[in-house]
Amino acid sequence: MNTHYSPPLKLFLLALTTNVILSACSTSKNNFRAVQTSDGRVGVQTVATAKDEEVMAVAIEECKKFGKKGAAISEVRTTLNDRFPVMHTFTCTTY
């Protein structure tokens, strides 16, 4: 009689594979840097390949630290920074 039970191993491998696939499709957290600008807005410095949805999520997360509920895009510009060549500027909103 075989008492070896392998579904947990299969489940682990499935979860690991899914994680690798999903992480390959998104931008790493190391490729974002949130800053507060001198005029009170939130800036998100990113790599050029970052997706708009990911940048917006970082901005909303940063605005929540200031008691706001959302973010509206104000400006996108390129910078001379080699690591973060794009700066997205957001205005925090209460809705």
pLDDT of residue 9: 63
Phi, psi of 26 (to 5 degrees): -115, 165
Phi/psi-derived region of residue 13, left when phi > 0, alpha when psi is between -120 and 50, beta in every other case:
alpha
pLDDT of residue 30: 81
pLDDT of residue 22: 47
33: buried, middle or exposed (CB in 10 Å: 19+, 13-18, 0-12)? middle
Domain-wise residue ranges, the chain:
29-93
From first to last of its 95 residues, what are the pLDDT tens digits of the chain? Answer: 555 555 666 655 556 555 555 444 556 678 899 999 889 899 999 999 999 999 999 999 999 999 999 999 999 999 999 999 999 999 999 87
